Amino acid sequence: MSSSPDFLNTMAPPTLGPLRTRVKMCGLTRAEDVSAAVRAGVDALGFVFVPASQRNLSLDQAAALFDLIPPFVQSVALFLDPDPNDVQAVINAVSPDLLQFHGQESGAFCRQFTRPYIKALGVDLFAGDAALHLNTVLEDHPTARGFLLDSHASGALGGTGRAFDWSHWPQGHPSATKLILAGGLNAENVGTAISSVQPYALDVSSGVELAPGIKSASKIFEFMTKVNSIEYFKPDESADA
């Protein structure tokens, strides 16, 4: 008879994904929205450092928000074709857990900061004939922690509220390639999104907003309730027999 605790015998194999799809909430600009996201169980909080964005933060604004992030919630700093000095300034000021690059940044550019990062890819890099270019991008970013697939064109910001055709979701990539779904997600479609493409994680912004950068606590909680309500894994009861 095994001496392992019963619950260990019913756990999913370690090669499977998490029991719940991870969620990153992006474009936070207010303390109350950080608080609502944390209380709702969001896994990662995204902060935008792109001057052209309506959700852009100054270093002082970012520092005040980063001080509110508790343990075990990741902070993500988002850039779009930035000057390296600007990226380093953010790192020095708030020390984000992850960097996120949304532009045409090469793998060499992203790696120079010696920080974990994820790379955003526009729909033009993975839909239709463009899917041929996806492997090239993945190969150029061998150390990326994940790839965020969004509805915008390459080199553009997300947060548009538009979804892409999920039938274009890349197929056949190894499970080690963590693909993150973004673009037009909200409480009404997130269940379908998860069941359709089974992403490693979700990235939501405008779908939980009242206006760009102004989140809604009720929308945040509704979104997370829908994510949490999905039955991801049911232990095999026969394992106890």
Here the CATH number for the domain that contains residue 153 is 3.20.20.70
Indicate whether 206 belongs to any domain.
Answer: yes
Q: Which residues belong to the active site?
A: 26, 150
| Per-residue CA distances from 88 to 49, 63, 95 (Å) | 12, 14, 9
Domain region containing 55: 19-165+174-228
Confidence (pLDDT) at 175: 65
Within-domain flag for 7: no
Residue 3 domain-assigned? no
Answer yes or no: is 185 within a domain. Answer: yes
Mean pLDDT throughout 215-224?
98
As a whole number, the mean pLDDT across the chain is: 84
pLDDT computed for residue 163 by the predictor: 72
Query: Does residue 192 sit within a domain?
Result: yes
Percent of the chain exceeding pLDDT 70 equals 77
Is the residue at 240 inside a domain?
A: no
| pLDDT value of position 232 | 59
pLDDT tens digits, one per residue of 37-50: 999 999 999 999 99
Structural domain total, the chain: 1
pTM: 0.84
Is residue 106's pLDDT more than 90? yes
Which pLDDT score, from 0 to 100, does residue 135 have?
80
Residue 51 inside a domain? The answer is: yes
Average pLDDT over residues 130-157: 78
For residue 124, name the pLDDT band (cuts at 50, 70, 90): low
Per-residue model confidence (pLDDT) at position 12? 41
